[in-house]
């Protein structure tokens, strides 16, 4: 089975992490985000993936190559300029099979695609959308269903005055028959599958599969941390989550540990944790991360080569690659440091402060 994944968005809401790398390769619990999608697809029989890129995918190609390591055939299609979700599909038409999955490239989920496919077959559908229930559906595509599973309406991000009686949203995972492409705007046109295609398909073979599954759009730092915690706690089914559980909730790959590691935690090779330092309770350390004496790291992600100075505390925060936190700093509640940021000693950052790549702050510069 084949899948087309849309990875053309710029990921602006995830800055400063995405200032230096595209969203699909941002590491999530030790592996590029997109590999979670690839593992999930593979577990449902997908062996051929086309990545629809809105701009040059150098960083993606460098990390994923032709997919050999993942056991999937990977191909890249690059739009001359971003063509929207519909335009991206049409642009990839030549490579597509008679039937394929189409996916938004920014969701972490374990939706049962095999069951979705069975429903698609049973209904004789031309298109079947995975749907999930969420508390606040307004930021998504709303999709009320009829009793027989047919889509009654597709309304992308309705305004506050438009009342739609459902909490089912488009999860960004579709099964489509290739013949549908014949009825779409021509190749090279910028259009939206959510606004320009799905509403018109209502009543013409468009079905919904209501999934009872984990689902999260990882578009913001808060959601990125949530996704991290959910993988560590096994709230979403992933391969790394299974390995972590099998290892007693601490996966430590050749680190030098004098302090303490509290579960759940994933610690990559080459990390150093100093005496009386504590790391864990939902933390992830990338390769070569240093946490100095007496420092405390909790509920945080420290990407490759990040360092935390002695007696500093880092909670609920994300430290970009090779960022450095000086001694006796406090980072709390959603702080994000971009790649290579250097914080001098005695800085206090909180409440979602985002420091952009390469910025250097002197000792005691910020005290929130
Ligand atoms: N190739 C390509 N070209 N990909 C694109 C383009 C483009 O021009 N524009 C967006 N994408 C990709 C994004 O990278 C993302 O993976 C996916 O298409 C969806 O775009 P988003 O910008 O993330 O849309 P959204 O999150 O606001 O809304 C969509 O996802 C929701 C679920 O997360 C819609 O599909 C909603 O209906 C849905 O509920
Ligand atoms: Mg999105």
pLDDT at residue 55 greater than cutoff 80: no
How far, CA to CA in Å, does 20 sit from each of 12, 99, 243, 335?
Answer: 11, 36, 29, 17
The residue segments making up the domain with residue 306 are: 247-361
In a domain, 235, yes or no: no
Are 175 and 133 contacting, i.e. CB atoms less than 8 angstroms apart?
Answer: no
Q: Does the pLDDT of residue 340 top 80, yes or no?
A: yes
The CATH number assigned to the domain holding 14 equals 3.90.550.10
- Tell me: pLDDT of 167 over 80: yes
CA pair distance 175, 2, nearest whole angstrom: 10
Ligand 2 is an ion; its neighbours by CB within 5 Å are 106, 217
What 3-state DSSP class applies to 222?
helix
User: Under 8 Å CB-to-CB from 348, ≥6 apart: which residues?
Assistant: 329, 330, 331, 366, 367, 368
Residue 231 located in a structural domain: no
Active site residue 157: yes
Helix axes of 239-246 and 221-232: crossing angle, nearest 10 degrees:
50
φ, ψ for residue 312, nearest 5 deg? -85, 160
Provide the β-strand partners of residue 50.
4, 75
**Whether residues 170 and 270 fall in one domain:** no
Contact 325, 341 (CB under 8 A): no
Reported as a pLDDT band with limits 50, 70 and 90, residue 185 is very high
**What is d(CA 310, CA 273) in angstroms, rounded to the nearest whole number?**
10
CA distance 203 to 220: 35
Residue 264, pLDDT above cutoff 90: yes
Task: For residues 22 and 83, state if they share a domain.
Answer: yes
Q: Check: CB of residue 258 under 8 Å from CB of residue 241.
A: no
How far, in Å, is the centroid of ligand 2 from the Cα of 308?
A: 32
Whether 141 and 283 share a structural domain: no
Which residue from 9, 54, 140, 189 has its CB within 8 A of the most atoms of ligand 1, so it is best to mutate? Answer: 9
From the CA of 189, the nearest ligand is 1
CATH of the domain at 315: 2.160.10.10
Same domain, 46 and 138: yes
pLDDT tens digits, one per residue of 89-119: 999 999 999 999 999 999 999 999 999 999 9
Task: Please give the number of the atom of ligand 1 that sits closest to the Cα of 5.
Answer: 16
Looking at ligand 1, which atom is closest to the CA of residue 170?
Answer: 39
- On the question of pLDDT at 269 being above 90, the answer is yes
Same domain, 64 and 135: yes
Q: For position 298, what pLDDT does the model report?
A: 98
Q: CA 231, CA 27: separation in Å to the nearest integer?
A: 13
Give the residue, by CA position, lying nearest to ligand 1 atom 7.
84
Q: Are residues 183 and 273 in the same domain?
A: no
Calculate the average pLDDT of the chain: 95
Q: Which pLDDT score is estimated for 165?
A: 84
Same-domain pairing of 152 and 30: yes
Distance 53 CA to ligand 1 centre (A): 12
What is the distance between the terminal CA atoms of the chain, rounded to a whole angstrom? Answer: 52
What are the start-end ranges of the H helices in the chain? 17-20, 33-42, 58-64, 84-91, 113-123, 198-201, 221-232, 239-246
Count of all residues that appear for the chain in the document: 368
State residue 20's pLDDT score.
Answer: 87
pLDDT at position 162, please?
Answer: 79
Domain boundary among 171, 197, 217: 217
User: Which among 3, 8, 131 is the best mutation to test ligand 1's pocket, defined by most ligand atoms within 8 Å of the CB?
Assistant: 8
**Domain co-membership, 275 together with 191:** no
| Residues contacting 101, CB < 8 A, separation 6+ | 1, 2, 3, 4, 41, 46, 113, 173, 174, 175, 176
Domains in the chain: how many in total?
2
Q: Is residue 233 assigned to a domain?
A: no
β-partners of residue 313 are: 296, 330
Q: One of 97, 138, 139, 157 is an active-site residue; which one? A: 157
CA 85 to ligand 1 centroid distance, Å? 6
Q: Tell whether the model's pLDDT for residue 56 goes beyond 80.
A: no
What pTM value is reported for the model? 0.93
* Cα-to-centroid distance, 345 and ligand 2 (Å): 37
- In this structure, are strands 250-252 and 99-104 parallel, antiparallel, or unpaired? unpaired
DSSP letter (8 states) at residue 26: S
pLDDT score of 19 more than 90: no
Q: Cβ distance 353 to 244 under 8 Å?
A: no
Atom of ligand 1 nearest to the CA of 217: 33
Q: Is the pLDDT of residue 368 over 80?
A: no
Residue 232 belongs to some domain of the structure: no
């Amino acid at each position: 089975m084949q899948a087309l994944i849309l990875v053309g968005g710029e990921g602006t809401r995830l800055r400063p992490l995405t200032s230096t790398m595209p969203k699909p390769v941002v590491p999530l619990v030790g592996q590029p985000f997109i590999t979670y999608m690839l593992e999930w697809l593979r577990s449902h029989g997908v062996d051929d993936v086309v990545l629809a890129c809105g701009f040059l995918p150098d960083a993606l190609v460098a990390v994923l190559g032709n997919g050999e390591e993942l056991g999937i055939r990977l191909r890249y299609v690059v739009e001359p300029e971003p063509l929207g979700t519909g335009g991206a599909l049409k642009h990839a038409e030549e490579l597509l099979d008679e039937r394929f999955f189409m996916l938004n490239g920014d969701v972490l989920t374990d939706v049962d695609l095999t069951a979705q496919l069975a429903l698609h077959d049973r209904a004789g559908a031309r298109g079947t959308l995975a749907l999930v229930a969420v508390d606040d559906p307004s930021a998504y595509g709303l999709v009320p269903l009829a009793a027989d599973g047919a889509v009654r309406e597709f309304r992308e991000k309705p305004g506050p005055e438009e009342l739609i009686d459902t909490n089912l949203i488009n999860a960004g995972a579709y099964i489509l028959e290739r013949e549908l492409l014949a009825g779409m705007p021509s190749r090279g046109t910028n259009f939206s599958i959510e606004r320009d295609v799905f509403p018109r398909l209502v009543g013409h073979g468009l079905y919904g599969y209501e999934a009872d599954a984990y689902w999260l759009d990882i578009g913001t730092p808060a959601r990125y941390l949530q996704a991290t915690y959910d993988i560590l706690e096994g709230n979403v089914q992933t391969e790394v989550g299974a390995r972590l559980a099998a290892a007693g909730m601490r996966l430590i790959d050749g680190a030098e540990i004098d302090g303490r590691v509290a579960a759940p935690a994933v610690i990559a090779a080459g990390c150093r944790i100093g005496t009386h330092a504590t790391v864990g309770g939902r933390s992830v350390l990338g390769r070569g991360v240093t946490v100095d004496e007496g420092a405390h790291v909790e509920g945080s992600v420290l990407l490759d080569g990040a360092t935390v100075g002695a007696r500093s505390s880092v909670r609920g925060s994300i430290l970009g690659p090779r960022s450095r936190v000086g001694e006796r700093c406090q980072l709390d509640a959603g702080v994000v440091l971009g790649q290579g940021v250097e914080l001098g000693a005695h800085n206090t950052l909180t409440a979602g402060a985002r420091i952009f790549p390469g910025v250097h702050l002197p000792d005691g510069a910020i005290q929130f």
